[in-house]
Chain A
């Protein structure tokens, strides 16, 4: 894969200008005592050899890049390989700086509550409160403190939340216009120009991710920066995260490094450490999964989220049974009271399910 787990696409190994000293990997750089300053300017010291460049013995590139050469160093716009991509969020190194929230808004041009003139929530340092149509990233703050005989002890948990890009996406199942698509990176994207604002997806998301964006009145959420990925760029939030709490890459790679980190934490005695959504138990797996140090509910994540479509097989079966029963009833007649009762029950159930799933 062309991606690393550090939140940035791997760039080609730094090449050294030809003719310059290069250091083979694994070789410590041995620096000779340079006369740079060394050659003490004060009387009594040994004079420096005249004109010895300071960098001559430390492998400084002779040609210094000009701004134009610098821009040439930017990676070309080549899309990532079409394999499942996503986020692994290690909450144990999140510092709650909210750079992800701001970087997301900047890249995606999202508005702020009341033009920024928001109200203090009083809930720790969280003033944006939840994911919605104009907040596609949201940092949660959870204060856990107890008074002990050793003074007050506790933790302040932080977690940057985002759309989970579920393998079984409830939102996509219910969208009546086909606005919600699955991309070549296995991510889930709402196409604003196809969305009619019906809100069906809002109710269908078990994580409360989607809301109507007040600017264009369509349902919106994280796209995992589909536009950036198509150009081979890391999503804005992961790019901005200073501590690599948000890691972006190929899901297979991310799962591997998450597993290693989990084992490290467990070996350090963090028995509550667990991965959330890294396997297929949570709606078939999450393409944005988390490393937590407490139960999912503590972070406001459902322990076993249910998709609305879970009812489809049952209700479908029931509906069929009901229809059959009705037919039988029609044939047998209305005199058999017990049969009447049974048929009415089945028919009612089937109808309710149909409404919910929008079939």
Chain B
């Protein structure tokens, strides 16, 4: 965190000054470790063994079993008591597999890449089978596979048309799961997970991760002692934690542990993702992702029953909990897309909306490009020639494009692939044969435009332009808006059905004379108009929507992203721009500093910050609580939720409110169900649906690894994504040719592929050359001296770097073998002021099965003196 997020680390430093303990778990001793109270070294990719060990330690500890807080939290607020399907088989029963594994068959798209596929029927709650808990089964989560929804085997009744869509929601099955609050039933979640992690002992943790067992126990105990009614602990991770074929499950394991410790929904708790660069959170809220539309609604797909709005809603809506509002969010989204052209009569233009047909994430798109299936590409603030995995493969794919637009600060490696790439230099690509037409557009910088950032805690913050960009440099909104306008002019008059969606797309962010009064660039589109569309407005009057509760399902409201509704409640009052801190002594919510979606709630699921009876768990950690004196008798209210934060709960729902078994939406939840986005209102220790690789995090080895899985016969994730291609060869486990574990990472001094740092003398001189960090032990073994040039070799490629021999890297004993790590920062390339080999020439195109994230944090290599 200190290494990659030095500014956010300010708050860690402040906490440390107040006595907070900082623990750092990392293969290397980094700038974060330097400030940590405990550094626990682990082998890259062994994280679930470490976290599973902590889970096992916690639930068998005296404190967890005697301090009543933990059981009270876990029984009431998580699905620990829920009974699971009798057919479920755990990894302890099947030696590393869950029940339901089958073969995967590629569909027409051909680039989904799964090596196997689970049918998750047996993972479901006993009384609430597939389709009732989450989206749907199997790989349907990303729309990559055709799947059924609703009761397995039974064709759901035809969706009643709307609007209104309430009858559709009312018609959906809503069984109540069976629970055993004593947690004794062998089929309840708690007993299943207890057995699942029973072999994750300190000895096993040491054997798998290489972390000395005493150090591991010290970490687990520190965390346990610092959790409870009057203390909370937080997990922070940089997104490299996701860069594994088990990445989603690693984060899931942290969440599971935090739920067991009662650290979710409470101040100072949680699992915090420190995103890779600015407003990456925003880019998933209003997504550049292929599989979801604004506000985390699933992208319409050709592979599911999505032939009408009603069918889409029937397939995707959860009838219980907050997501039951999806008809309102979705119809208002369609209104933001197609405006007046979207009417109830034409199903709000749903037929115009693009559909996905498989995994269209970055790696499959580059593979499709390599097959000549992609004609053009926009690279805006992205540099896949350096940042892409198996970058040499990706550069060769670029040569198959007809056209490539790069909008960036400098001529990046991607823009220059046709003239300076290693492939051109070594003859694999011939410059005269590359037909790709490359357009390079100069980009404005962030200080040269108005706009918003959404940072990791969902905090939307406005930034104001400081100065006009120089010359022809333009903002991304300018470029995209004017491109859209020109394309619309080109398509005007087309009667082709496929063009009607684009022709009807609302595209009206015309410059506002007031906003551009002081600017040289008079045709800069209005980002305030964009915010207004995101926030939403009354379709007829244009009046801004004030809150999510205003959103309607009949087209009378327009709202691009329901989760942002309320950020701009009226003209001239953009809450993202507010900057008013709380007075001292800080209660800490700072509700008038920026705007945190949804509805300015700073701690999500904060009902869990109070006891089931509504009173704070402790004075020290009080956040919101039930005040029986604040109810409005006229509305028959028994009280109100009050506190420092905006309650993430119906404001007058009493703690003793029972769940209505026939209710829909929030009525289906009781007054003690904090997790309002979940159908059952509980935090999920066990994930019955939504993940394609298992309901409980399980240690699998990275795909490339020098050891056999010490825990199971199953070596690696049984359903990971592998795009086997020439040029993307994978080393088998324990390959003696590649004995060392390789991790790639970033340095404080540079940013990503270096486009914002390697061109700048002040930053370039701080880290001028590519280096490979190795331990003194490995250096001695390979007779390498500090700053010697060495070769690093993987099945995909070979690069050269200077050796940086440092005790901050250390060999670890794993499964009776000494394992060496090689660390490579990946900021360098063949363009810019300071240059160096492209580290991603070494990495591979394989991925996590849930989100298609690569495994750049753990693969294998060899090193030799050059």
Contact = CB atoms under 8 A, between A and B. Distances in A.
B549 A243 contact: no
A14 B581 contact: yes
Main secondary structure of the interface of B (DSSP, over half): loop
A119 to B, nearest CB: 6
A72 interface: no
Given A33-B641, A40-B666, A96-B34, A116 B600 contact: no
Nearest to B801: A120
Interface stretch (B95-103, B140-148, B648-656, B686-694): B648-656
Contacts of B6: 95, 97, 99, 242-243
A39 B578 CA distance: 24
Given A55-B575, A244-B13, A29 B587 contact: yes
Interface in B831-860: 833-834
- Which secondary structure dominates chain A's binding surface? loop
Contacts of A101: 762, 766
B761 A45 contact: no
A158 interface: yes
Contacts of B170: 43
Interface in B137-168: 166
A306 interface: no
B806 interface: yes
A37 B764 contact: no
A59 B591 contact: yes
Contacts of A30: 642-644
Interface stretch (B56-64, B296-304, B476-484, B564-572): B564-572
B532 to A, nearest CB: 14
A152 B763 contact: no
A35 B666 CA distance: 14
A35 B549 contact: yes
B566 A128 contact: no
Contacts of B29: 145, 154, 156
Contacts of A36: 546-549, 566, 599-600, 646
Given A37-B599, A152-B807, A242-B10, A55 B569 contact: yes
A199 interface: no
B327 to A, nearest CB: 9
Contacts of A121: 787
Interface stretch (A18-26, A312-320, A326-334): A18-26
B802 interface: yes
B31 A28 contact: no
B847 to A, nearest CB: 32
A54 B765 contact: no
B724 interface: no
Interface stretch (A63-71, A167-175, A177-185, A186-194): A63-71
Looking at A36, A64, A99, the one whose CB has the most chain B CB atoms below 10 A away is A36
Given A112-B762, A145-B808, A37 B549 contact: yes
B10 A34 contact: no
Interface string A110-121: 011111111111
A111 to B, nearest CB: 7
A125 interface: yes
A117 B764 contact: yes
Which size class do B's interface residues fall under?
A: 35 or more
Given A40-B650, A119-B769, A143-B806, A35 B764 contact: no
Interface stretch (B109-117, B356-364, B381-389, B657-665): B657-665
Range, interface on chain A:
35 or more
Nearest to A145: B807
Given A43-B665, A95-B35, A120-B802, A33 B767 contact: no
A31 B591 contact: yes
B7 interface: yes
Interface string A92-106: 110111110110011
Contacts of B805: 122
B804 A122 contact: yes
24 contacts: A34-B646, A34-B647, A39-B650, A43-B169, A43-B170, A45-B665, A54-B569, A54-B599, A61-B580, A61-B592, A64-B572, A95-B13, A96-B34, A98-B766, A102-B762, A106-B762, A118-B764, A118-B766, A120-B804, A128-B766, A152-B807, A242-B10, A243-B6, A245-B13
Interface of B: 2-3, 6-7, 9-10, 13-14, 16-17, 29, 31-35, 41, 166, 169-170, 212, 214-215, 322, 324-325, 328-329, 464-465, 546-551, 565-566, 569-570, 572-575, 577-585, 587, 589, 591-592, 598-601, 624, 630, 635, 640-647, 649-652, 660, 663-668, 747-749, 760-769, 771, 786-787, 802, 804-808, 810, 833-834
Given A38-B549, A38-B647, A52-B547, 11 more contacts: A31-B647, A36-B600, A39-B547, A39-B650, A43-B166, A43-B324, A43-B664, A48-B550, A53-B547, A118-B834, A120-B802
